[in-house]
Structure 1
Amino acid sequence: MKQVLAEHENDPNFHHTTIQNIKAFLANEDMMRNPDRYEQAVDRIKLEAALITTNSPYAEVRANVDNHDDPSVPVSTIRAWTLGCLFSVLLSFVNQLFSIRQPYIRFDTNIAQLLSYPLGKCWERWLPSYEMTIPFTKGAKVNLNPGPFNKKEHMLIAIMANTSKSLPYTNFMIWTQVLPQYFNQQYARSTGYIFLNAFATNFIGYGLAGIMRNVLVRPSYCIWPTVFSTIALNAALHPSSESERCVRGPMGTTWSMSRYRFFLYTFSAMFVYFWFPNYLFQALSYFSWMTWIAPDNLKLNILTGMQNGLGLFNPLPTFDWNVITYVIDPLFQMMPSFTTFNAVAGMFLTGLIVPFVWFTNTWNTGFLPIISNHVHDHFGKIYNVSNTLDSRGMFDRDKYAQYSRPYLSATRALSYGWNFAIYTAIMTRVVLYHRPQMVMGFRSFFKNLRFRRKTTTDHEAKEEQYSDVHSRLMSMYSESESRLHLVHPKPSLTDRVVPEWWFFIILAISVVMGILGIVLWPTYTSPAVVLYGILLCLIFIVPIGVTASMTGLEITLNVLAEFIGGVIVEGNALAMNFFKSYGHVTTKAPCPELEADHHRQLPPRVTFMGQMLATLISTIVCTGVFKFQIDIKDVCTPKASMRFFCPGPNTFMTASVLWGTIGPVKVFGKDGYYKWLLMGFPIGCILVTLVWMLQRRWPDSRMLRQVNVVVAIAGSLSWAPYSFSYAWPAVPFAWFSWIYVRGRHLDFWSKYNYVLSASLSAGVAISAIVMLFTVQWAGIAVNWWGNTQPYKGCEGSPCLLYYLAEGEHF
C-alpha cells in the first residue's frame, strides 16, 4: 500500500476514496498491532490490494481489459493484414482530404474498428479454409481462413488504423510554400519533396517511443485515455456472454440490445441527421440565435457570436455533433471532471480577458477582428509576407521597415502567452507531482538494460521489473528464442519483444530522409535542424508523455520550437518551419498504440510491423491526396468551396511570419511589440505551484484534487480560429454521460457509452463523404433562410471596434 500511495497519490484517475482509505490504513498504528479490531477496514484494504496486484487499479480498465491472456490466439493472419492495410488507406485518404476543412471532419480509429468487424466476420464465414505457400520462403504456409475472427486480430487492425490516421506534419509547411497567397515557392509541389519530408516526420517518433516504453507505457498509471475507448470497443465487439447480459437503464428500463445492433441504429440516425446541419439547415451548425436578433450589433456579436465572436454567453450554440466534439469528445474521456471541465474552464477564463484587451485597444487589437488566427499589417489587412522577402525568400530589413510590423488579434496574442506558460507549467507539474513516477520509470528503464544483457533467466528481476499485471502478461513474449514469421496462422510463444536497436534504425533512416528532403531542394536550410529538433524532444518527451498518458491531452512543442528556431535561424521562415516540424513530431511518439498492444497482449513484433506498414501506407496516400488538394480552386481562401478554409495552414502561416520571417526577437524581444507576453513563462510556473500548495494545504479536498493547471492552459490554446461555442457544448454531454448516467446506471453506461461515441462519429464522417462526392461536388446549393442567416451581419464579415479610411493606418 505504501508503494501504491507513492505511485498514485497525485493521480487524478485513481479513485479518491481509495486513496483516503489507504492513507487512513497506513496512518493507523493501532490497526497494524490489532487487526482484529478493524476487521472490516482490513478486509477492504485486502480487497484493494488484490485488485491492484492481480488486475488494473482503475475500474474502467478492469471493466474492459482482461487480466489473463491466451498467447495461442492467432494475430498475424492474412485477414488481419489485409483489413489493416485497407483501413490504413481509407483513414489516411479521408483525414488528409478533410484536414483543410473548417470544422475538420475525421475518420477515427473506432470507425475503422467498427467497419472492419462485419468484414472480418464475412471473411470468417465465406472464405474457404485453404493453405497457400508464401512466395520466397522455405515452404512457409498461410491459411486463407484462419478461423473465427478474434479480438487480437481486430486490435491489430485498429492499431494500424490509429497509426495511419495521423497526417504528415510537414504538409502544413508545404501549404505555406506552394500557395500564391503565402510564400509561392513552386518547387515544393515536387512529389519527391513532399514524400521525403512526410516520410521523415511520420517515422521519426518511433525511435524515442521505443526507448521510453518503460517510462511512458508499462507503468500502471500511464493509461493513455485516448486509446481506452478503442480497447473498450474491441471488448464490446468480442464480448463474453457475461458482458452481453441485460442491463438496467434510465427510468427503470431494461436493455438487452447487443452493442453492435445499438451501433447500427445510432450510426444510421446520425448519418441521416448530419445532412441537416451540414447541408440542408446549416443554422443548426452555427446556431448563433442571439445575434440573429440584431446581426450588426457589435457588442452582442462579440459576446455571443460563434464564427466572428467569442461565443461566451450562448447556452445553445450548436446542434452539430461534429462541432460538439471538436475540442473534446465528451463521451470517451477517462475522467470528464479532469479533462473536459478543466479544459473548458481554462478556455472560458481566457475568454473573459479577451474583451478587456480588445475594447481597450491593447496592441491595436481594436482595428482587427477579435478572433482570428491571421497575422495583420498596420492597414488591418492580412500580412503580405512577400513585402518583407528578398528573391531567395529571406528576410529583407529595408522592405520590412517600409511595410509594417506584424499585428495579432486579441485571442491570438493571448494564445501565444498561454503557449509560453504551458511549457513551464508542465515541467513544474512533473517536478512537484510526478517525481516518484519518474524515479520508478527511469529506474525500471536502466534495470531493463542490465537485465537484457544477462544470459540467464532471472525470475526475480523480471518480477521486480514488471509489477503491473499487463506487463507480467506481456513478459511472456520475451521468453522465446524462435524467429517471428510475418504471417503464421497458429502462433504460440514465438514472439519476442522488439529490441531497442530496431527503433534506433527507424530513427536513423528517418533522419537521413529528412536531411535529403532539405538538401536536394533550394530550402536555404541547414540539415542540422533535424538533429536540433530531436535534442529538444529529448528534454521534454518524459513530462509531455506523462501528462498525455494521464490526461489524454497532448502538449506539443510547436511554439517552443518556433521560439528557439526563430532565434537560431532568424529571417528564414522555411528553416524555422523545419526546426519546428522536427521538434514537434518527435514528441508525438506512438505510445497510445503501444498501450493498446500492452493491454490486449499482442505480440510486440507483430505490433511493430503493423505500425511500420500502416505509417508507410499513410505517407504514400497522404502525398497523393495532397497533390490533388493544392490544385483545388480558391483553396485556403474565404471563397473556397466545401468549407476548405484551411484553419491549420493559416495558423501555421501566422507562425511562419512571426517566428521565421520576422523572428521572435523583433516581436517578443526587448523592443518587441508583444514582449509582455513572455510573462507567460513565469506565470505557468506560479499557477502550478499555487495550486500544488493549496492541494497540500487541503489534501482531502476532492475538488482541488481534480484541478489541473496544465489541462486548463491547454484548453485556453483552442482560441482562434475557434470560439468558446466549439468547447462549451461538450460540458453538458460529459456531465450527463459520465456523472449522471455513469453514477446511476454503471452497467448500462459501460455497455453502450463508448459504442455511442464511435457510432456518432462514424455517422458524421461517412455522411460528410457522401455529401462531398454527390451534392457538394456537383455545386448543388440549397438557398433559403436556414442556410443564409448564419452568415449575416457580423457573423458573415467580422465587425471591428475601429475602422480605417482607405490608405490610413494605425
Structure 2
Amino acid sequence: MSEHKLEHTTGKEFIDEKADLERTSIILEEEENSPIPEVAAIVSNKDDPSLPVMTFRFWVMGILCSVLLAFVNQFFFFRTHPMTLSALVIQLLAYPIGKFMARILPHGILNPGPFNIKEHVLITLTANCAQGAAYAVDITVIQKVFYNEDFGFLANLMLVFSTQILGFGMAGVLRRYLVYPAAMVWPANLVQVALFNTLHQDEDLAPGQWSRYKFFVVAAFSMFLYAWIPGFLFPVVSAIAWICWINPKSIVLSQVGGSSSLGIGVISLDWNNIVAFLTSPLVVPWWAQVNIGIGFVVIAWIMVPIAYYSNLWDAKRYPVISSQLFRVDGTSYETSKILTKNILNETLYEGYGPLRISTFFALTYGIGFAGLSSMVTHTWLYHRHKLVAQWKQSREHSEDIHHKLMQAYPEVPDWWYATIFFGMTIVAVIACEVWDYNLPWWAVLLAVALSAFFVLPIGLIQALTNQQPGLNIITEYVIGYMLPGRAIANVTFKTLGYISMAQALTFTSDLKLGHYMKIPPRAMFWAQLMGTAIAGLCPNAAVFYSASVIWGVIAPERMFGPTSIYNAINYFFLLGLVLPIPFYYLKKKFSNTWMDYIHIPVVLSATGMMPPARPYHYFNWIAVGFIFQFYVRRYHPSWHLRFTYVLSAAFDTGVAFMGLMSFAIFTSREVEMVPWWGSRYDLCPLESDPFIAPPTVPEA
C-alpha cells in the first residue's frame, strides 16, 4: 500500500491515517513486506539464519551491561537528584565494544566472526529487562521509611522475583495476539530498529543524499550540545510560563498558567521534558495523539478548572494540582497519628479526622476507573471476532513476511512459559503467607487473575498507541475494600496485580522487537529471563506512599463510600462501561469518516500519568507530535519514513549523554549553575506555594 493511498483513501483533511491499525486485516498475497508503511520503511524483510546469536561476546556483554544498568538505576533512584539510564545507552555503547571484542579475541568459538546485528539486539534486550528499578522495591522502601518494618532479604527477594518474572509467563500467551499480527506495530520498537539498522547496514544513496547514520550522528551531537541549555545553563526554557509573567503576583494567573498548575500556554524547549512521561511524540501515530489530546483537554483544562473554581469537594482549600494528602483544614495529613502497628486505629482516626485530596487527584482516580471499564467494553465490541480468529490461525499460517521468516527458528514451547507463570505465583503465595504482609493466599491469586484478565486489552492499546493504561488504581480499589486498613497488604496486592501486567507487556514488546530483528525465540527467552533475574538481584516512593494511605490505611469504603464526599467517583466505572457503545454504532453508521478514529479507552486513559506528569507536558508533547506525525508525514512522507524514527533515537541519545556528563561533572559534586534569573525553573513565585488559593477563600 503506497503512502499516497494510505493518506487519501478517505479524502479527509483532519487525520491522515485511514488504516486504524487495530482494525487492519493483514493479507499478504502480492507484496512480501509489511502493509504498514512505517514498518516497511524501517524493518528489513530479509534474514540470515546462519548469523551466530548467543556468542561468548553476547554472554559477557549481556551480563555486564545488565548488572551495570540495574545497579546504576537503583543506586541513583535514591539520590536527591535521581538519574535514569535507559537501554539506549547500552545500545550505543555495545556497538563499539562488540566491534573491539571481535577485533582482539582469537578467532574460533569465542569469536565466530564479525560482531553482528543480532548479537547487538540480544545484548540490548537483555539490558532492557534489567534497566528499571523493580517496583516491589518500593514496598521495602515505604516499609522501612514510613512504617518501620523490615522482613529481611529473603522475603524481599522472593517478592521482587515473583512480581518481576510472573508476567513473563503471560507473554507466552500474548505472542499470538500482540507479536505475530502485523497490525500490532509497537511504535517505540521502530525507533530501536531504525537505530540498529543505522549502525549496521549500508545504504544505497543518491548523490548528495545523507545516510541515516550521518543524520543520526549530526542530530545526536546537536541535541547533546543543545541539551546543556535547558538542562543546566538556562533551565527556565524548560517551562516558559509566559502567562504568569504578565503579573507574577497574581494567584489566578499562577494557577492557570503556571507549569506546576494547569499549565495553559506553557512552552517547553527541553526534549527531556517533552518525552518525560509520554515517550517520544515522534513515534506515536497521529490518530492516537488526537485521542490523547481530546482526553487531556476535556479532563485537565475543562473538568478540573470547573471543579476547582466551583469549589467542588472544598477544592479551594487545596492546590489545583497535587498528589499530597491533606486534612479537612488544608494542612498536611500525618498518617502516623492514626496507626497502631501499621493498621488503622478507628479511635485515633475518628479523633484526627478524615483524609482529603485535591479535586484534581480525585478526578484522575475517577477517569482511571472509567478508562479501565471502557477497555473491557471496547475490546469486546471491536476485537472479539479478531481475537478468536487469531487464536485459530496462529498455528496454521503466517501473517506477513516477518512472521514467515521467523518460521526458520524453533518456537519456545508453551510449557516453558506456563512453568514460569505458575512457579512465580507459588513463590508469591509463599512470600505473603510466611511473612506478615497481611495478604492471604487467595488475595495473591486474585491479584494475578486481575493482571491476566486486563493484560490483553491493555496490550492492544499499547501495541497501537505506545500508551499503557495502568492497573494500579483498580488493584488498590479492590483490595482496599476486601482488606481495609492494611497499608502493606494494599501495596503488595497492587504490585502483584499491576506490575505483573506491566512486565508482561514489557516482555511482549521486546518479543516484537526480536520478531522485527529475526532473533531466534529461544535465544530471546533466555536473554529476557537472565536480564530480569539480574535486575531482581540488584536491589517513586512519594506517590506510592500516598496511594498506600488512601487505599490501604483509610481504604475505599471511607474514601469513596456512601458517606464520603468523593462517593460520586464510583459512577465513573459505569460511565466507562457504557461510553464506547454509542461510538461503536456511530462508527458503523458513519464509516470512513473522522468517527473511525475515536478510541474511547485512549481518550479516558489520556491523563493516566497525571500526577506526576503536569498539563504542560501534554500540551508540548502534542505540539511536537503535530509537526512530525501530521505535517511532516502528510507533506514530506519520504523524509518522514526515512528519518523520523532515527531523529527520535538521536534526540534521546543526545539527552542521555548530556545527562551522564552533567551528573558526573556537576550533580554528583553538588555543583549548581551560578544563580541568575534564567537559572530558575519557574518564574511564577506564587505557584511554588502548594497551598495557594484565590483571595476570596479565607485561610483555614
TM-score, normalised to structure 1's length?
A: 0.79
CA contact (8 A) 2:283 2:645 kept: no
CA contact (8 A) 1:88 1:165 kept: yes
Change over 3 Å in CA distance of 1:690–1:671 after alignment to 2: same
CA distance in 1, matches of 2:38, 2:161: 36
For residue 333 of structure 2, what is the aligned residue in structure 1?
383
Letter in 2 for 1:325: V
CA distance in 2, matches of 1:101, 1:348: 34
CA contact (8 A) 1:108 1:761 kept: no
Q: C-alpha offsets along residues 265-286 of structure 1, whole Å, 9 cap, x if unaligned?
A: 3323323332332222221223
CA contact (8 A) 2:327 2:356 kept: yes
CA distance in 1, matches of 2:667, 2:83: 15
Change over 3 Å in CA distance of 1:246–1:728 after alignment to 2: farther
Letter in 2 for 1:57: P
For residue 29 of structure 1, what is the aligned residue in structure 2?
none
For residue 469 of structure 2, what is the aligned residue in structure 1?
555
Q: C-alpha offsets along residues 24-71 of structure 1, whole Å, 9 cap, x if unaligned?
A: xxxxxxxxxxxxxxxxxxxxx99x7413xx322211111222333221
For residue 34 of structure 2, what is the aligned residue in structure 1?
56
Among 466, 487, 490, the alignment partner of 1:573 is 487
Letter in 2 for 1:178: K
For residue 733 of structure 1, what is the aligned residue in structure 2?
624
CA distance in 2, matches of 1:510, 1:650: 28
For residue 482 of structure 1, what is the aligned residue in structure 2?
none
Q: C-alpha offsets along residues 190-237 of structure 1, whole Å, 9 cap, x if unaligned?
A: 444433322121111011111332223222222222322222322222
CA distance in 2, matches of 1:469, 1:676: 51
Gaps of 5+ in 1: 2-8, 24-44, 132-142, 248-253, 449-463, 478-495, 624-647
CA distance in 2, matches of 1:323, 1:98: 19
Letter in 2 for 1:786: G
CA distance in 2, matches of 1:18, 1:555: 19
CA distance in 2, matches of 1:270, 1:241: 24
User: In the TM superposition, what are the counterparts of 1:324-343 in structure 2 within 5 Å?
Assistant: 324-335=274-285, 337-343=286-292
Change over 3 Å in CA distance of 1:502–1:473 after alignment to 2: same
For residue 533 of structure 1, what is the aligned residue in structure 2?
447
For residue 523 of structure 2, what is the aligned residue in structure 1?
606
Letter in 2 for 1:16: K
**Residue 583 of structure 2 corresponds to residue 691 of structure 1:** yes
CA distance in 2, matches of 1:193, 1:295: 52
CA distance in 2, matches of 1:155, 1:542: 26
Change over 3 Å in CA distance of 1:145–1:382 after alignment to 2: same
Among 303, 310, 316, the alignment partner of 2:262 is 310
For residue 227 of structure 1, what is the aligned residue in structure 2?
189
Superposition deviation, residue 327 in structure 1? 3.1
Letter in 1 for 2:447: G
For residue 209 of structure 2, what is the aligned residue in structure 1?
255
For residue 801 of structure 1, what is the aligned residue in structure 2?
693
Change over 3 Å in CA distance of 1:161–1:415 after alignment to 2: same
Moved more, 342-351 or 655-664: 342-351
CA contact (8 A) 2:278 2:467 kept: no
For residue 551 of structure 2, what is the aligned residue in structure 1?
659
Change over 3 Å in CA distance of 1:240–1:788 after alignment to 2: closer
**What secondary structure sits across from 1:663 in the alignment?**
helix
CA distance in 1, matches of 2:696, 2:612: 23
Superposition deviation, residue 331 in structure 1? 4.6
**Residue 427 of structure 2 corresponds to residue 473 of structure 1:** no
**Residue 364 of structure 2 corresponds to residue 415 of structure 1:** yes
CA contact (8 A) 1:331 1:754 kept: no
CA distance in 2, matches of 1:50, 1:14: 24
Letter in 1 for 2:191: S
CA distance in 2, matches of 1:18, 1:608: 31
Letter in 2 for 1:73: L
CA contact (8 A) 2:254 2:684 kept: no
CA distance in 1, matches of 2:220, 2:575: 45
Letter in 1 for 2:634: G
CA distance in 1, matches of 2:681, 2:531: 44
Change over 3 Å in CA distance of 1:705–1:305 after alignment to 2: same
Among 201, 214, 218, the alignment partner of 2:180 is 218
CA distance in 1, matches of 2:607, 2:454: 21
Change over 3 Å in CA distance of 1:370–1:18 after alignment to 2: closer
Superposition deviation, residue 394 in structure 1? 0.8
CA distance in 2, matches of 1:224, 1:431: 21
CA distance in 1, matches of 2:262, 2:135: 28
For residue 490 of structure 1, what is the aligned residue in structure 2?
none
CA contact (8 A) 1:14 1:57 kept: no
For residue 208 of structure 1, what is the aligned residue in structure 2?
170
For residue 7 of structure 2, what is the aligned residue in structure 1?
none
CA contact (8 A) 1:159 1:593 kept: yes
CA distance in 2, matches of 1:574, 1:444: 44
**What secondary structure sits across from 1:728 in the alignment?**
helix
User: In the TM superposition, what are the counterparts of 1:613-624 in structure 2 within 5 Å?
Assistant: 613-621=530-538, 623=539
Q: C-alpha offsets along residues 80-114 of structure 1, whole Å, 9 cap, x if unaligned?
A: 22222233234334443455689975433333222
CA contact (8 A) 1:165 1:618 kept: yes
Superposition deviation, residue 805 in structure 1? 12
Letter in 2 for 1:161: A
CA contact (8 A) 1:330 1:733 kept: no
**Residue 110 of structure 2 corresponds to residue 144 of structure 1:** yes
CA contact (8 A) 1:658 1:667 kept: yes
For residue 646 of structure 2, what is the aligned residue in structure 1?
755
For residue 119 of structure 2, what is the aligned residue in structure 1?
153
Letter in 2 for 1:678: N
For residue 16 of structure 1, what is the aligned residue in structure 2?
18
CA contact (8 A) 2:437 2:492 kept: no
CA contact (8 A) 2:190 2:645 kept: no
**Residue 602 of structure 2 corresponds to residue 711 of structure 1:** yes
For residue 111 of structure 1, what is the aligned residue in structure 2?
89
Superposition deviation, residue 804 in structure 1? 12
**What secondary structure sits across from 1:375 in the alignment?**
coil
CA distance in 2, matches of 1:63, 1:101: 42
Superposition deviation, residue 695 in structure 1? 1.6
Letter in 2 for 1:619: G
For residue 485 of structure 1, what is the aligned residue in structure 2?
none
CA distance in 2, matches of 1:408, 1:564: 20
CA contact (8 A) 1:208 1:503 kept: yes
Superposition deviation, residue 393 in structure 1? 0.8
Among 334, 352, 362, the alignment partner of 1:403 is 352
CA contact (8 A) 1:523 1:574 kept: yes
CA distance in 2, matches of 1:365, 1:311: 18
Q: C-alpha offsets along residues 691-715 of structure 1, whole Å, 9 cap, x if unaligned?
A: 22322221011x2222222112221
TM-score, normalised to structure 2's length?
A: 0.91
Residues paired across the two proteins, number: 682
Change over 3 Å in CA distance of 1:239–1:429 after alignment to 2: same
CA distance in 1, matches of 2:681, 2:126: 43
Superposition deviation, residue 748 in structure 1? 2.9
For residue 375 of structure 2, what is the aligned residue in structure 1?
426
Gaps of 5+ in 2: 2-9
CA distance in 2, matches of 1:58, 1:397: 59
The structure that has the greater radius of gyration is 1
Change over 3 Å in CA distance of 1:403–1:620 after alignment to 2: same
**Residue 567 of structure 2 corresponds to residue 675 of structure 1:** yes
**Root-mean-square deviation (CA), in Å?**
2.9
Change over 3 Å in CA distance of 1:313–1:287 after alignment to 2: closer
CA contact (8 A) 1:284 1:319 kept: yes
Letter in 1 for 2:439: T
Moved more, 768-777 or 726-735: 768-777
CA distance in 2, matches of 1:56, 1:579: 41
Letter in 2 for 1:50: E
For residue 320 of structure 1, what is the aligned residue in structure 2?
270
For residue 31 of structure 1, what is the aligned residue in structure 2?
none
Superposition deviation, residue 613 in structure 1? 0.9
CA distance in 2, matches of 1:329, 1:234: 19
Superposition deviation, residue 565 in structure 1? 0.9
